[in-house]
């Protein structure tokens, strides 16, 4: 071959090589060039699998994960039951989903408070050690996040402290790469890095970063999952500050994922109609964060008994997810089916009935996630001898799992 000439494998040979690689490696190779990205997206099976809606219902006796087919009927495809390893009085919460893996938090007290990463399709589960205990209640104060960085191919679990924690300036990170099972400290130079739980909804992990509202709710903290650098930037217009002791009863604002982009839903309940502004982050969050309002959703509560704020997965494809006020029904409504009630100032959409996905018992907590089935093995975490002894003695217990469907 002459100097300066390039050599391209025939596409069939390239695909034959790529399909023999682990799924996690193929995700990284998508970044090599457009030709490789197109080959993986169009010629490998897992890229052709569309994400499904996973609704997680957190209850004290048992928590349920319901997965729905991405078809017109929205039929129930999977149902999984999770129970706390410590006692029936504690509950299991969903931290997040990523590439078909799910991350769960057991809220039990003492040594049982911990994180489990699992693949419900294969039944594999990986119990992670709890974060370092600065005092007994510290691990229960704050939120967790579960994310993946496409460049490094690494999964990471993040713990963000509450602002009333003993160390509200310290974020903990654990990497699932087999090299260590130790939680690393990321000490912030920002004053209000700690999460304030008044707003609810938790944080989100989107496109290689973890995000959450700071202690006062008017700024957003970002942790890059590649270099673990903390940054802060302002939220969208309309997000009010809690610093003056103001308790907001007629509005909420929560982080969400809008078509795989960071979003904020700002809900106002002042009138008979619930108004929800959906904002999406444009541009670089660090260098030049810009917010654009995608649309405003309107629900007449006298006509439709509906709540629209679903987190962290508000939109699914071209659909908006909403829930009935009694917590019994989950709906999927196409944006194109919404009525346009443009008031001349901003585009408003009147939510239609949509497809009903869930009818079940009342629950006090339901969250929605994007989920894609996979048979990818779990990443491994190196365990010290002390950790192996503690796990063998029952100090680290796996969350109970029961596959219903």
Mean pLDDT by 10 residues, the chain (405 residues): 58 78 70 75 61 87 86 83 74 90 79 79 88 55 87 89 74 84 83 64 86 82 92 79 49 81 81 79 76 81 62 79 76 76 63 66 74 84 60 59 75
The pLDDT value recorded for residue 138 is: 46
* C-alpha distance from residue 185 to each of 47, 51, 220, 380 (Å): 35, 33, 20, 21
pTM above 0.85, yes or no: no
Q: Return the residue matching tokens 């390893």.
A: 85
Task: Please check whether residue 131 is in contact with residue 182, taking contact to mean a CB–CB distance below 8 angstroms.
Answer: no
* C-alpha distance from residue 303 to each of 268, 298, 350, 355 (Å): 17, 11, 11, 17
The pLDDT value recorded for residue 250 is: 67
287: buried, middle or exposed (CB in 10 Å: 19+, 13-18, 0-12)? exposed
Q: Is the peptide bond before 153 cis (omega within 30 degrees of 0)?
A: no
Task: Please check whether residue 279 is in contact with residue 291, taking contact to mean a CB–CB distance below 8 angstroms.
Answer: yes
Q: Which two tokens stand for residue 42?
A: 């169009």
Q: Which long-range contacts (CB under 8 A, 24 or more apart) does 16-21 make?
A: 18/43, 18/44, 19/43, 19/44, 19/45
């Amino acid at each position: 071959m002459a100097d300066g000439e390039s050599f391209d494998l025939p596409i069939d040979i390239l695909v034959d090589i790529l399909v023999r690689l682990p799924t996690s490696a193929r995700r990284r190779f998508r970044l090599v060039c457009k030709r490789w990205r197109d080959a993986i997206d169009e010629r490998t099976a897992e890229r052709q699998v569309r994400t499904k809606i996973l609704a997680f219902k957190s209850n004290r006796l048992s928590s349920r994960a319901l997965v729905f087919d991405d078809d017109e009927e929205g039929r129930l495809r999977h149902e999984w039951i999770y129970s706390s390893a410590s006692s029936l009085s504690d509950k299991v919460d969903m931290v997040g989903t990523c590439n078909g893996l799910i991350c769960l938090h057991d809220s039990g007290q003492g040594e049982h408070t911990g994180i489990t990463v699992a693949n419900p399709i294969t039944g594999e589960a990986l119990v992670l050690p709890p974060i370092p205990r600065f005092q007994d209640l510290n691990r229960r104060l704050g939120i967790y996040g579960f994310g993946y960085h496409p460049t490094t191919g690494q999964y990471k679990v993040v713990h963000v402290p509450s602002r009333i924690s003993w160390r509200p300036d310290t974020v903990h990170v654990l990497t699932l790469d087999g090299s260590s099972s130790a939680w690393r400290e990321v000490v912030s130079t920002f004053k209000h890095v700690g999460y304030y739980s008044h707003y609810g909804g938790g944080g989100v992990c989107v496109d290689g970063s973890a995000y959450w509202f700071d202690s006062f709710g008017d700024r957003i903290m970002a942790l890059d999952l590649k270099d673990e650098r903390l940054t802060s930037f302002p939220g969208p217009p309309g997000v009010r500050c809690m610093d003056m002791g103001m308790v907001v009863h007629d509005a909420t604002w929560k982080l969400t994922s809008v078509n795989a982009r960071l979003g904020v839903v700002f809900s106002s309940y002042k009138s008979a109609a619930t108004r929800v502004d959906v904002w999406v982050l444009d541009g670089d969050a660090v260098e030049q964060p810009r917010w654009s309002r995608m649309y405003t959703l309107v629900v007449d509560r006298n006509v439709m008994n509906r709540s629209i704020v679903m987190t962290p997965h508000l939109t699914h494809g071209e659909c908006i997810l909403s829930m009935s006020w009694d917590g019994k029904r989950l709906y999927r409504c196409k944006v194109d089916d919404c009525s346009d009630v443009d008031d001349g100032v901003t585009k408003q959409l009147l939510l239609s009935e949509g497809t009903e996905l869930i009818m079940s018992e009342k629950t006090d907590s339901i969250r929605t996630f994007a989920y894609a089935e996979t048979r990818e093995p779990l990443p491994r975490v190196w365990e010290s001898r002390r950790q192996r002894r503690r796990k063998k003695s029952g100090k680290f217990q796996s969350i109970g799992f029961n596959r219903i469907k």
